[in-house]
Amino acid sequence: MVVAGSTDGSMMGPPLAGSPRVQGHRDYVIKTLLQGMTGPLSGQSYTQVMLPMGTQTDQWIASVSSYVRNSFGNTASFIVPADVARVRAATAARKTMWTFPELEASLPRALPIEPTWIATASHNAERAPSGLTLQAWTSGAPQEPGMWFQVELPKPANLTEVHFESGPPGGSRGRGGRGGGRGGPAPFGTFPASYQVQVSMDGKSWSKPVAEGKGIGSPTIATFPPVQARFIRITQTGKNQEGSAWSVLGFRVYAAQSR
């Protein structure tokens, strides 16, 4: 995490500027700050280690993480204390610093979108496939409880997270800034007023909600314990007081990696 050089030209730590790791999944930075990191990184050795900072508050970790991910030319989603609390709880038993291979293997991976993905929706269904791109699906009607957007995968996966932007075609901030105090602004009301996430193996029998939340901006990020499923559905459960439609673009599904 630390960027510096010594007098003999060796590097104390990996560069932050333009780092694909720093700008990647938000848990990378959170875990590094909480438990620290040691050893080579992508084949490069450094003279210093990243010391654990887990004694700091969730707010402190979130603020530092967000600063690193959006400074030095970086652009990534902002991190909030709830993100840190989730990771802290999940890694509470860890007593040693991460090595890069361990940390990389612990991160959810985005499933590559394939032509065999099938997107459907309760409203404006013919446009649903656009939600997988930056062209955007929109409900075409004011938000109301029961509206849903759904994706069918070609085969089951160990799902653990879903991301999507809301706003006009092209995205609200390019690389996933969060509105509502979590990043760049999104057009008001285009994100779900509130939502729940359900999964299914057959598209008929649905689980109880694996995640629920209130819309606070774009992107919407829902994280939940890994579950085998082939279908994932986001249902709009609130009512937008401004009468705005709901939109989805850049829909991404993440799976837990095998250990």
CATH number, position 18: 1.10.760.10
The answer on 159 and 74 residing in a single domain is no
The answer on 139 and 79 residing in a single domain is no
pLDDT on residue 111: 96
Give the mean pLDDT of 161-183. 62
> Hunting for tokens 């057959």 — which residue is that?
202
The answer on 121 and 80 residing in a single domain is no
Say if strands 247-255 and 211-214 run parallel, antiparallel, or are unpaired: unpaired
Domain closes at, from 107, 123, 138: 107
Q: How many CB atoms lie within 10 A of CB 57?
A: 10
Note the maximum CA span of the chain.
64
The answer on 117 and 94 residing in a single domain is no
> What is the rounded distance in angstroms from the CA atom of residue 45 to the CA atom of residue 113?
34
Give the DSSP letter of residue 151. E
Q: Is 3 exposed, middle or buried (0-12, 13-18, 19+ CB in 10 A)?
A: middle
Can you give the residue range of the structural domain that contains 176? 110-255
The answer on 182 and 59 residing in a single domain is no
pLDDT at 178 exceeding the cut of 60: no
Domain count, the chain: 2
pLDDT in tens, 76-111: 889 999 999 999 999 999 999 999 999 999 999 999
The answer on 237 and 156 residing in a single domain is yes
| Least confident piece of the model among 69-73, 167-171, 209-213 | 167-171
Cβ–Cβ < 8 Å for 62, 84? yes
Global pTM?
Answer: 0.81
Cβ–Cβ < 8 Å for 120, 153? no
The answer on 119 and 242 residing in a single domain is yes
Say if strands 247-255 and 148-165 run parallel, antiparallel, or are unpaired: antiparallel
> What is the rounded distance in angstroms from the CA atom of residue 246 to the CA atom of residue 198?
18
